[in-house]
Amino acid sequence: MIAALLFWLFAAVLVGSAVMVVTARNPMHGVLFLILAFFNAAALFVLAGAEFLAMVLVIVYVGAVAVLFLFVVMMLDIGAARRKGGWQAYLPAGLAVGAVLFAEVLFSLAGWKLMPAAVAVPQPAGLSNTAALAGVLYTRYLLLFQASGLVLLVAMIGAIVLTLREHTRSRHQSIPRQLARDHRETVVLLDVPLREAPVVPGEAKKQAAPAPGGAE
Amino acid sequence: MIAWVLAFFATPLGYLILTVLKALAILVPLLMGVAYLTYFERKVLGAIQLRKGPNVVGPWGLFQPFADAIKMIMKETVIPSGGNRALFLFAPMLTFFLAMIAWAVIPVNDGWAISDINVGLLYLFAISSLGVYGIVIAGWASNSKYALLGAMRSAAQMVSYEVSMGFVLVSVLLCAGSLNLSDIVRAQQHLWFCIPLLPMFVVFFISALAETNRAPFDIPEGESEIVAGFFVEYSSMAFGLFFLGEYANMFLMSALTSILFLGGWLGPFGLWPVLGPLWLILKICILLFVFLWVRATFPRYRYDQLMRLGWKVFLPLSLLWLVLTSGALLAFGWLPHA
């Protein structure tokens, strides 16, 4: 009874916040509603008895992915989107995509049933669902599991290759070099004669040429 | 009478009341602890810097936390113009809320946890990874460049250190064979994990410093460059909630370190098991002292040094140690039965 009520509560908030993600004017609010949607999905997992999946959903999506979303949205500095005309131009394409997705959901719902092999597996009492999941994932589906890891690795390397540039202008500090410095190369003892301007090595050049950063 | 009370607690309403009472039994001492941690911090810093610390309000300055609390409540809550009012007020509440709900799974003694769930460790990891939202939302909603800079630094920092922290947690749970915090403590009956996993213990504690934004990793606040970072615009109780949240997080991280590496409620060499919770409190206090000691000793890290430490030192180290741990467990047949 309470579980059913909670299910409807979480499901309603989930759908509501999912709608708000696409309709919110302020992109920042959109991301925050997305996070709320993730949370409610995690709560639904808990109600279904899949506490491991719930926690992983929160850790991966809320704790890492959505933080990056938020970061990017904050950086882009998009104000609240103004209502723009011309949405009719996108209407046919949007409707077509929606119709295809809806048809897919209908077909999969109609043809959906538990795999006989999965139903036949007896559920041992007292086995936590983390252990049960690991037992299947690391034995029967080990190859698929590793393959999905490889796919992620490829994606990661791709992202790094695409974004990494030669940082010729960045002031990179080499930590070993920094640690290897000692007083002999940093401190200069000058014998300064009285009533005469001292000549510091490097100082004359610095004054002659303007600083590389410009004169602002 | 006792039978009647027990029967009442078995009803749904009674169960609810019992849970609330349990939560209060954790939260009230925790908040008192937070109040006195601020006093303790000022006294320790004072002693290290050859000063006296607070010594005016009450005997030995013992009422100082209350004076601070009253001052904070009496002040005006200023909301910056151009800021986002709702999110501005939501951020400190979120920070405080997260620091409190994490305590639901902390076992204070054998079987003394409000909720002894099977995925306790993952729950704590999830909650601590949410801490970044309080800071990012605060920084954005303040409509101030210093706050935004602080928020950005903090987001990058907390996400980076979570990665190596996750690997440390994996090596601990490999040794314990469970994600349940009580089971992890029971697995340390004979040997605390800080001995076989000593490098991970150090990495975890340093990452905990970074996760709680404490010195030497307090660059999200960085008062010498960005004033007070993400909470520069906050005043009154909104600031107070951030403050309480930060100190409660220090408590939480100390408790987590004690449970994962220092045997939680177990005494050293199985000494006086009756003392259970007191052992845990003692360990938490020692770790908190180290937090303060570190703050008084080390200068703040520069931002690029912080990132280098997280990604180029801790991540490879914890990954290597994870492989070593699992290899050793497998080779010597020490794997705990799942």
Residue among A55, A74, A173 minimizing CB distance to B126: A55
Domain regions of chain A by residue span: 1-80, 129-166
Chain A residues close to B162, C-beta within 8 Å = 63-64
Please report the DSSP string for B62-89 in residue order. Answer: TTHHHHHHHHHHHS-----TTS-HHHHH
Residue A152's pLDDT is 93
pLDDT higher than threshold 60 for residue B338: no
Substitution target from A62, A67, A75, A174 for chain B, most B beta carbons within 10 A? A67
| Helix segments in A58-120, DSSP class H | 66-76, 87-110, 116-120
Based on C-alpha coordinates, what's the Rg of chain B?
21
What is the arithmetic mean of pLDDT over B309-323?
90
- Angle between helix axes B198-211 and B276-297 (nearest 10 degrees) is 70
Contact at CB, B129 and A62, closer than 8 angstroms: yes
For B26, how many CA atoms within 13 A lie in the half-sphere containing its CB? 24
Report the residue of chain A nearest B161, measured CA to CA.
Answer: A64
Which positions in chain A have a beta carbon within 8 angstroms of at least one beta carbon in chain B?
Answer: 28, 32, 35, 51-52, 55-56, 58-59, 62-64, 67-68, 70-71, 74-75, 128-131, 134, 173, 175
Chain A residues close to B104, C-beta within 8 Å = none
What is the arithmetic mean of pLDDT over B170-189?
86
CA angle B197, B187, B129 (to 5 degrees): 65
Enclosing H/E stretch for B40: helix B12-48
Which of A55, A61, A47 is closest to A11 using CA atoms? A47
For residue A117, what are its two tokens? Answer: 């092999």
Residue A51's pLDDT is 84
Cβ-Cβ contacts under 8 Å between A and B: the total is 65
Domain regions of chain B by residue span: 75-331
Contact at CB, A51 and B118, closer than 8 angstroms: yes
> How far apart are the C-alpha atoms of A188 and A201, rounded to whole Å?
9
- Angle between helix axes B236-261 and B12-48 (nearest 10 degrees) is 90
pLDDT higher than threshold 50 for residue B258: yes
Reported ipTM exceeds the 0.85 cut:
no
Q: Which of A200-214, B83-97, B320-334 has the lowest mean pLDDT?
A: A200-214
A125 band by pLDDT with thresholds 50, 70 and 90? low
> How far apart are the C-alpha atoms of B217 and B210, rounded to whole Å?
5
Sign of the CA dihedral running B231, B235, B238, B241: positive
What is the arithmetic mean of pLDDT over B321-336?
86
For residue B43, what are its two tokens? Answer: 């006294």
Based on C-alpha coordinates, what's the Rg of chain A?
30
3-state SS assignment for residue B238: helix
Residue A214's pLDDT is 42
Chain B residues close to A35, C-beta within 8 Å = 133
pLDDT higher than threshold 50 for residue A131: yes
B16-25: which pairs have CB atoms within 8 A and are 24 or more residues apart?
A: B19/B114, B22/B114, B23/B104, B23/B114
Higher pLDDT pick, A30 / A171: A30
Share of chain A above pLDDT 70, in %: 76
Chain A residues close to B126, C-beta within 8 Å = 55, 58-59, 62-63
Residue B320's pLDDT is 92
Residue B263 dihedral angles phi and psi, to the nearest 5°? 75, 20
For residue A193, what are its two tokens? Answer: 């004669």
Contact at CB, B122 and A67, closer than 8 angstroms: no
Q: What is the pLDDT of residues B262-291, one digit of tens each?
A: 888 887 777 777 777 888 888 999 999 999
Residue A15's pLDDT is 92
Report the residue of chain A nearest B123, measured CA to CA.
Answer: A55
Amino acid at B81: S
Substitution target from B88, B98, B119, B178 for chain A, most A beta carbons within 10 A? B119
- The b-or-e profile of A108-140 (16+ CB within 10 A means b, else e) is eeeeeeeeeeeeeeeeeeeebbbbeeeeeeeee
In Å, what is the CA distance from B52 to each residue of A31, B40, B42, B68, B289?
Answer: 48, 12, 9, 18, 17
Which of B161, B302, B155, B157 is closest to B225 using CA atoms? B302
What is the arithmetic mean of pLDDT over B166-182?
87
pLDDT higher than threshold 60 for residue A148: yes
- Per the prediction, chain B carries an average pLDDT of 85
Residue A119's pLDDT is 57
pLDDT higher than threshold 50 for residue B81: yes
Report the residue of chain B nearest A178, measured CA to CA.
Answer: B305
What is the arithmetic mean of pLDDT over B288-317?
88
Residue indicated by tokens 């994962």? B260
Residue A204's pLDDT is 52
A121 band by pLDDT with thresholds 50, 70 and 90? low
Higher pLDDT pick, A204 / B248: B248
Contact at CB, A70 and B136, closer than 8 angstroms: yes
Q: How near does any CA of chain B get to the CA of A79, in Å? A: 12
Chain B residues close to A58, C-beta within 8 Å = 126, 129-130
Q: Chain A contact for B118, CB < 8 A? A: yes
What is the arithmetic mean of pLDDT over A59-68?
85
DSSP state of A213: T
Q: Which CATH class is domain A1-80?
A: mainly alpha
Q: Chain A contact for B13, CB < 8 A? A: no
Chain A residues close to B133, C-beta within 8 Å = 35, 67, 70
